[in-house]
Amino acid sequence: MNKRIGVIVILLVLALAAVLVGIKIKNNIHANKIKAEIDSAVSLASGGSLLEAMDSYKGILQQDIDVNTAKSIYDKIGELNIKILFSPAKTQNNVIYKVQDNDSLDAIARKYNTTVALIKRANNLKSGLIRPGMDLKISTDKFSIIVDKSQNILTLKSGEEVVKVYNVSTGANNSTPVGTFKIINKIVDPPWYSNGKPIPSGDPKNVLGSRWMGLTLKSYGIHGTTDDSTIGTQVTQGCVRMHNNEVEELYDIIPVGTEVTIVD
C-alpha cells in the first residue's frame, strides 16, 4: 500500500511539474507576442504611421499584460498623442480650414481657441506667413490640466481623454494652492524677480526656466526649471515646475483661458 501511495505521489508531482512547465511556456509565448506587438507599434510610429501605431498600442492594452508593461504603453501613448497633435495627421478633434483673404494665424487661432504655435507645428509651417487657399489642420480639442500634488504629476486632457501625463514639482510643505484656476498669461523666457530686481532668463538664479504660464491666482503659475533633479518632488515656492522641454511642449498646446485644477 505504501509503495502504491509513493507511486501516486510521484505521478502527481510529475503532473504538477508538467502543468507548471506548460504555464511557463505559455507565459513566455505570450510575453514574446506582446514584445513583438510593441516593437511593431514603435516601428510604425518611427515610420510616420502615427494613427496605426496608436491603434496597435490600444490593442495591446486590451490584452493580459503586467502593470509595468501597461504603464510603459500609457507613456508611449502620451508621447504619440503629442506627435499626432504636432503632425498633419487627421483625427476627429480637428478641422481642415481653408485660408481666406486677409486671414492671419492669430485670427484663426482665436477663432478656434487654439494657439499659433500648435497650428504651425501641425502644418509644418516655418513662419507665420500663410496664403489664401491653403488648407490648415486646426485643433478643436478643449484642453484642460489637472495637477495632483500627492503624486507630483500634471495630466493634460482633451475633454475626458488623457493626452499625456508629465512629472512635475509642486510646493514645499504642500504649499501649492488647491482649486480650479485658469491660465491668464504666457511668457517665453520669463524674467524672475528677486527682492524687486529682475533676473533675466538663462541666469542660473532665474528658477522659471524657459516658459511661464500664469494662473488666475496671483504669483502662481506653471513654469520650467534650472534644476531637472528637483522634478518629482515638493520643493517649489508654490508653483508647478516642469522640465524645460516639456513645459515648452505644453506651452505650445494650451491657449490662454485653459482650466487648471490642482488637487491634494
pLDDT given at position 31: 80
Catalytic residue IDs? 223, 239
Question: Which CATH number characterizes residue 152's domain?
Answer: 2.40.440.10
Shared domain for 67 and 122, answered yes or no, is no
| Structural domain span for residue 253 | 143-263
* Statement to judge: residues 124 and 147 lie in one domain: no
Residues 155, 71 within the same domain? no
pLDDT at position 229 is 95
Mean pLDDT by 10 residues, the chain (264 residues): 64 61 62 88 92 93 89 94 96 96 97 98 96 97 98 97 98 96 97 86 89 96 95 96 98 98 97
Q: Are 181 and 218 in contact (CB under 8 A)?
A: no
Q: What is the pLDDT of residue 236?
A: 95
Same domain for 124 and 213 = no
Backbone angles phi, psi at 97, to 5 degrees: -105, 130
pLDDT at residue number 88: 95
Q: What is the DSSP letter of 254?
A: P
Q: Are residues 126 and 58 in the same domain?
A: no
Q: Do 21 and 78 fall within a single domain?
A: yes
16 and 125 fall within a common domain: no
Name the pTM for this structure.
Answer: 0.86
What is the structure's pLDDT at 20?
A: 58
CA pair distance 30, 36, nearest whole angstrom: 10
